């Protein structure tokens, strides 16, 4: 037996070195390749951030045009995959469909699963970034019983996604540019977040040499949990359960009660202990969208606003440094746009795909890469003799 450092939840152990994303949780700083998230959300757009995360530098105009055209030319999914979708129950959670469909991409696109070939790695990267919105929108359409809407390559990434989700065949659908911009911001603000649980899952899965589609499916599975990507759905469901502003104190009291497992969803973060810089931008975006859609008087959004105020004014949350996180506001925007709560985490998954794949690329290209193999502190029985079933009490 060896002597190992025990660090449950990896609160103080670095599992890799990485040049992609920097976070200073105390100061509320988040940088991608050195650029502040606030500046990227304001001045850049999702596909440019994808290029930056993948390649380390902002693209020139020509590089951006090439990257954008590559992504746009891969948005369609294999026609055979439509049959694969129809094998699921209509009432399946879209995340369950996404785990299955993205994992199955290795069956449909096996010509880009050889990770020793740099060209295949690049093709897999483009395929994943290009097809995730199509797959997420198809999962949505499938679970609502509507026909699939094919991607339109004259639209930008976010507008195309909104159209695939909300257009109905044979009916005109104009994407509102303010909503497309808000959607693009949601994608941008979720693009990467260094070694969070799903990214670490992708790294661990990839460390065995598994193909990128299988590894991203593992990331999607991990993201689904309510402590991670599932928090945006859980947060909106909590707001629905609270229902009216007068019930907020009851829920605040429950969140503070140590004998009650209830937590305020959308509050707190493992790394950010003062504020979440993504939440600052997302809050602005939420205000813009709510202004546009004129839904200020929707009860659930009132509950959100009042809950935020009440929690921020409460010493319990201040002492424990619990602030609204990015998912508190993204859920509100998505609700206002008309997405059902079950689509919130799939949208997080499609946004985070570039982060997962950038971290995968960094790891695969590192000559010092080793298979991930955590150790343990064994706490079970010492060796003992087997007893036959008839001799057991």
Provide the binding-site residues for ligand CMC, judged by CB under 6 A: 193, 196, 227-229, 231, 255, 263-270, 320, 322, 325-327
Closer CB to ligand CMC, 105 or 326, in the complex: 326
Shortest CB 270 distance to ligand CMC, Å: 4
Report the DSSP beta bridge partners of residue 23: 30
Shortest CB 256 distance to ligand CMC, Å: 7
Tell me how far apart the alpha carbons of residues 112 and 213 are, in angstroms, rounded to a whole number: 9
Of the residues 327, 385, 391, 393, which is catalytic? Answer: 327
Answer positive or negative: Cα dihedral of 70, 278, 306, 289: negative
Closer CB to ligand CMC, 152 or 254, in the complex: 254
Query: CB of 131 within 8 A of CB of 105?
Result: yes
Tell me how far apart the alpha carbons of residues 74 and 131 are, in angstroms, rounded to a whole number: 7
Of the residues 74, 193, 228, 269, which is catalytic? Answer: 269
Tell me how far apart the alpha carbons of residues 234 and 250 are, in angstroms, rounded to a whole number: 18
Shortest CB 58 distance to ligand CMC, Å: 25
327 part of the active site: yes
Strands of the chain (E only): list them: 21-24, 29-32, 35-36
Closer CB to ligand CMC, 266 or 346, in the complex: 266
Closer CB to ligand CMC, 197 or 293, in the complex: 197
Shortest CB 213 distance to ligand CMC, Å: 22
Give the other-Cβ count within 10 Å of 202's Cβ: 29
Tell me how far apart the alpha carbons of residues 131 and 59 are, in angstroms, rounded to a whole number: 22
Report the DSSP beta bridge partners of residue 36: 31
Tell me how far apart the alpha carbons of residues 307 and 315 are, in angstroms, rounded to a whole number: 14
Shortest CB 347 distance to ligand CMC, Å: 13
Shortest CB 385 distance to ligand CMC, Å: 41
DSSP state letter for 267: B
Contacts of 304 (CB under 8 A, 6+ apart): 239, 328, 332
State the Rg of the chain over Cα: 22
Which residue number places its CB atom closest to ligand CMC?
268
| Cα dist from 113 to 218, 283, 323, 357, whole Å | 15, 40, 41, 13
385 part of the active site: no
Closer CB to ligand CMC, 265 or 334, in the complex: 265
Maximum CA pair distance of the chain? 77
Please list the active-site residues.
269, 327
């Amino acid at each position: 037996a060896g002597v190992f450092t025990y660090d449950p939840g990896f609160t103080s152990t670095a599992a890799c070195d990485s040049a992609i994303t920097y976070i200073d949780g105390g100061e509320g700083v988040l940088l991608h390749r050195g650029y502040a998230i606030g500046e990227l959300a304001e001045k850049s757009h999702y596909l440019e951030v994808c290029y930056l995360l993948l390649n380390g530098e902002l693209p020139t105009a020509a590089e951006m045009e090439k990257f954008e055209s590559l992504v746009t030319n891969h948005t369609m999914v294999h026609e055979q995959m439509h049959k694969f979708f129809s094998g699921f129950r209509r009432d399946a959670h879209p995340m369950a469909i996404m785990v299955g469909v993205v994992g199955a991409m290795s069956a449909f696109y096996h010509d880009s699963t050889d990770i020793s070939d740099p060209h295949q790695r690049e093709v897999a990267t483009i395929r994943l970034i290009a097809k995730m919105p199509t797959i997420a929108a198809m999962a949505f359409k499938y679970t609502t019983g509507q026909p699939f809407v094919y991607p339109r390559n004259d639209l930008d990434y976010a507008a195309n996604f909104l159209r695939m989700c909300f257009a109905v065949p044979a009916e005109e659908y104009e994407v509102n540019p303010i909503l497309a911009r808000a959607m693009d911001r949601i994608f941008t603000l979720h693009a990467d977040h260094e070694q969070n649980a799903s990214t670490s899952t992708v790294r661990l899965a990839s460390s065995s040499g598994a193909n990128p589609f299988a590894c991203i499916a593992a990331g999607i599975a991990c993201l689904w949990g309510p402590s991670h990507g599932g928090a945006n759905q859980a947060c909106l469901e909590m707001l629905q359960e609270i229902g009216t502003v007068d019930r907020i104190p009851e829920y605040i009291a429950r969140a503070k009660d140590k004998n009650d497992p209830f937590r305020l969803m959308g509050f707190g973060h493992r790394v950010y202990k003062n504020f979440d810089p993504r939440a600052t931008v997302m809050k602005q975006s939420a205000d813009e969208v709510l202004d546009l859609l004129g839904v200020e008087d929707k009860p659930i959004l009132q509950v959100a606003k009042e809950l935020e105020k009440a929690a921020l004014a409460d010493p319990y949350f201040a002492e424990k440094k619990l602030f609204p996180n990015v998912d508190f506001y993204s859920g509100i925007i998505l609700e206002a746009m008309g997405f059902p709560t079950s689509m919130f985490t799939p949208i997080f998954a499609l946004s985070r795909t570039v982060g997962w794949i950038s971290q995968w690329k960094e790891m695969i290209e590192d000559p010092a890469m080793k298979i991930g193999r955590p150790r343990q502190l064994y706490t079970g029985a010492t060796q003992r003799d087997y007893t036959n079933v008839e001799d057991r009490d």
